[in-house]
Amino acid sequence: MDKEKKYAICLGRQLGSGGREIAQYLSDQLKFTFYDRELLYAAAARSGYSTDMFEKSDEEKSDLHSFISHLVPFVGTADFYGNRVDEDFLFRILSETIRGIAAEENCIFVGRCAEYILREKKDTMVSVFISADETDRVERLCQVRNIKPNAARKLISTNDKRRAAFHDFYSSAQWGRATTYDLCVNQSRLGMEKTKEYVLEYVKKRFDIE
């Protein structure tokens, strides 16, 4: 690992696959700074806009119709462009934030099209997608969120559609498709702990980490 360079891991995931837990594990083991919702706060801090704005336009909150209208209500204290802000503008800020962070420190990003935004960092970025069998995803959500199986299935369907819509709108690649990522892993095949170890080993080999 070249200490003069900054490395990034971009991890996409299906809801209930345990992707966030795997990302946190990689962050802890490699001492990479972790960014999931933290990225929204970083974008707000760097831009001067309210965090609420980025949350409204985030991958898990945006509905398909919002991509057509491209407009979201402004919520915040610093209004530079009237009382409505274009979602494309917010995504550009988010992209600039991701690029800025990736240039400053070793980091791991969860979702939010990071692998596409950092696609030029071919030697210093690894993209991973975590999936799992539906039965395992439903079981995990029932435990983590204390909901019934039917509610978990509905949440999975809605959430995955929103993540895919967000990703595919801004990226030229397809969310969850193998050709979009360096590594795709079905967590159900190895189980959580072995999947963590497997992905970590892959990242270490890619970045030449001892």
**Domains delineated in the chain:** 8-207 (3.40.50.300)
pLDDT at 27: 97
Residues sharing a CB contact under 8 Å with residue 70, sequence separation 6 or more, in sequence order:
86, 87, 88
| Segment 15-51, tens digit of pLDDT | 999 999 999 999 999 999 999 988 888 888 888 877 7
Strand order from edge to edge, sheet including 8-13: 33-35, 107-110, 8-13, 125-131, 183-186
Residues sharing a CB contact under 8 Å with residue 107, sequence separation 6 or more, in sequence order:
6, 7, 8, 9, 32, 33, 34, 35, 101
Cα gap 176→168, rounded to integer Å: 10
- 72 and 53 in contact (C-beta within 8 Å)? yes
Across the chain, which has 210 residues, the per-10-residue mean pLDDT values are 92 97 97 91 81 71 43 36 59 92 96 95 95 98 96 95 91 95 98 98 94
The total of other beta-carbon atoms located within 10 Å of residue 118's CB is 24
pLDDT at 83: 36
pLDDT at 73: 36
* Per-residue DSSP letter, 58: S
pLDDT at 85: 52
